């Protein structure tokens, strides 16, 4: 009995050493924390594929770029954030939330959509849009925080339609929510990205908005940790996947 305590201590020490050695022999991926990605909602689809092939345990949270940026600024844990607005990305970097400047990754086009079978337009102005809306609303991302909504507002201002159309907007928390309103037939028109329109069989492009009538649409990636930096390196090798989904590569 007198020797039982030292023997037990020795047993516990040996067992602990064995566990430590076993853990040391595991692949690094088995010990690493799953990759955390925050991203603009419009990236859903191709980004899911890239994230899963890079790290099967990765988690991707989608939302409006303004919301994503604010969450990161308030300490939300993530390794990388990809935003559809250059201003938000540089704001995060300037606030000291990332060690390296944002990387330009992708571009996109802005389009006006209708439910499948809806009207096509040869030209657009405020009276034409109001007539097409009737008693319905125009689905857009929130024009103060969602990049697709910011670009949409810039376009409406460029064609002198903002004041007329603003009371008829159905503003959403992200661009995919605007897409869903049109796809379900709840509104007759919406403004989304070309990649969003391509992702749905329930909408049709009624008008491709000229790129010179709104700010350039650029997606920037911001690595918040070394793991996030490595993921962005991988993502740049898979740009063709995004191009197939309707995005445009950046040089």
What CATH number has the domain bearing residue 197?
3.40.190.10
**Per-residue pLDDT, 3:** 52
Residues written for the chain: 251
12 pLDDT more than 50: no
158-191 pLDDT per residue, tens: 999 999 999 999 999 999 999 999 999 999 999 9
Q: How many CB atoms lie within 10 A of CB 186?
A: 14
137-160 pLDDT per residue, tens: 999 999 998 999 999 999 999 999
**Are 147 and 168 members of one domain?**
yes
Percent of the chain with pLDDT over 90: 82
Tokens 């603003």 belong to 166
98-111 pLDDT per residue, tens: 999 999 999 999 99
Measure the CA–CA gap between 177 and 187, rounded to whole angstroms.
12
210-231 pLDDT per residue, tens: 999 999 999 999 999 999 999 9
C-alpha 200 chain-centroid distance: 17
**Are 43 and 119 members of one domain?**
no
Do 155 and 110 meet the contact criterion of CB atoms below 8 Å apart? yes
Percent of the chain with pLDDT over 70: 87
Measure the CA–CA gap between 208 and 201, rounded to whole angstroms.
17
Domain enclosing residue 156, as ranges = 110-213
26 pLDDT more than 80: no
Give the total number of structural domains in the chain. Answer: 2
**Are 64 and 151 members of one domain?**
no
Q: Which two tokens stand for residue 14?
A: 């040996």
**Are 139 and 68 members of one domain?**
no
60 pLDDT more than 50: yes
> Is residue 12 situated within a structural domain?
no
**Per-residue pLDDT, 101:** 96
| Alpha helix segments (H runs only) across the chain | 4-24, 28-31, 46-54, 65-73, 86-94, 126-133, 147-158, 162-165, 175-183, 194-199, 226-235, 239-244
27 pLDDT more than 50: no
């Amino acid at each position: 009995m007198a020797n039982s305590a030292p023997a037990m201590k020795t047993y516990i020490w040996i067992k602990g050493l064995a566990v430590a050695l076993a853990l040391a022999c595991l692949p690094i991926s088995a010990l690493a924390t799953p990759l955390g990605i925050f991203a603009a909602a419009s990236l859903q689809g191709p980004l899911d594929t890239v994230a899963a092939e890079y790290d099967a345990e990765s988690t991707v949270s989608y939302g409006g770029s303004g919301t994503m940026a604010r969450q990161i600024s308030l300490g939300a844990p993530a390794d990388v954030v990809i935003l559809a607005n250059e201003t938000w990305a540089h704001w995060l970097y300037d606030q000291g939330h990332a060690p390296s400047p944002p990387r330009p990754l992708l571009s996109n086009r802005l389009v006006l959509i209708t439910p499948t079978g809806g009207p096509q337009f040869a030209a657009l102005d405020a009276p034409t849009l109001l007539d097409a809306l009737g008693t319905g609303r125009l689905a857009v991302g929130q024009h103060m925080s969602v990049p697709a909504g910011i670009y949409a507002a810039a376009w409406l201002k460029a064609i002198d339609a903002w004041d007329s159309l603003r009371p008829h907007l159905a503003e959403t928390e992200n661009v995919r929510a605007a897409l869903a309103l049109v796809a379900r037939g709840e509104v007759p028109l919406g403004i989304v990205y070309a990649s969003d329109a391509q992702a749905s069989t329930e909408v049709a492009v009624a008008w491709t908005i000229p790129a010179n009538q709104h700010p350039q649409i650029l997606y920037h990636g911001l690595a918040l940790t070394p793991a996030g930096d490595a993921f962005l390196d991988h993502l740049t090798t898979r740009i063709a996947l995004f191009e197939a989904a309707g995005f445009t590569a950046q040089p």
